[in-house]
Amino acid sequence: MKRVNFYIDGFNLYFGMTETLNNVKWLNIYDFCNSILKNDQTLNKVHYFTSRISNNPPKERRQSQYIDALKTTPINIHFGKYKNTPVRCYNCGHTWDGNEEKMTDVNIAIQMIVDAMKDDYDVAILISGDSDLVPPIREIKSNFPAKKVTVAFPPNRFGISLKNIAHAHFMVGKSKLLNNQFPDQVVTANGYVLNKPNNW
């Protein structure tokens, strides 16, 4: 059996699947990853990369509920930074506060390469459409030829450069997202009940 590690760009997956799909935000990442495996593969580790959002209390509460739900499953959650960045319209001169996620690409790249060095997987499945992740895949192919990297593109996030560098690729299907949702109520290890946020 081939050992599989997943490396998930949380925001890339979130925005890709929510642009066209409803009722998929309460996604059980661990079950979702298991559903992707082939018959000759076994799930070794799931690494989920995200950032804590800020300056929007309702969104912060929903994200915290979701992260707490994810913590009831055996996945590894890695946090980057969520930076408030001024945005300016060059046509009218208006400015407003924007948000930018930082460090996720670097965190994913480091984890994939370190795990290859430790011989922690046979197959790495990257769930992202971000072309900034081409360099770590290239390095893994060059330095660890026995390791295979597959890219799973979230809906609406296909990237030709990732397709060309990976050993294999596929699009995440709608049914995989819809069929691997948490129940409306998730109970934590200490008995706390998490309710699916409204409008999710």
**pLDDT band at residue 84 using 50, 70 and 90 as cut-offs:** low
Euclidean distance between CA atoms 10 and 145, whole angstroms: 27
Domain assignment present for 10: yes
Amino acid at 92: C
Residue matched to tokens 């509920």: 65
* Tens digits of residue pLDDT in 145-186: 999 999 999 999 999 999 999 999 999 999 999 999 999 999
The reported pLDDT for the residue numbered 82 is 62
Whether 116 and 44 have beta carbons less than 8 Å apart is answered as no
Range of the domain at 152: 2-195
Report for 21-25, 94-98, 113-117: range of highest mean pLDDT? 113-117
Domain assignment present for 166: yes
The reported pLDDT for the residue numbered 44 is 98
Domain assignment present for 78: yes
Mean pLDDT lowest for which of 42-51, 55-64, 89-98, 103-112?
Answer: 89-98
**pLDDT band at residue 105 using 50, 70 and 90 as cut-offs:** very high
Number of domains forming the structure of the chain: 1
Amino acid at 176: K
Domain assignment present for 200: no
The reported pLDDT for the residue numbered 18 is 93
Domain assignment present for 87: yes
Domain assignment present for 178: yes
Q: What is the DSSP letter of 181?
A: B
Q: Find the CATH number of the domain harbouring 27.
A: 3.40.50.1010
> Is the pLDDT confidence value at 193 over 80?
yes
Domain assignment present for 158: yes
Q: Which of 147, 160, 180, 152 minimizes the C-alpha distance to 32?
A: 180
> Is the pLDDT confidence value at 86 over 60?
no
Euclidean distance between CA atoms 6 and 127, whole angstroms: 7
Which tokens sit at 166?
């990976």
The reported pLDDT for the residue numbered 92 is 74
Domain assignment present for 167: yes
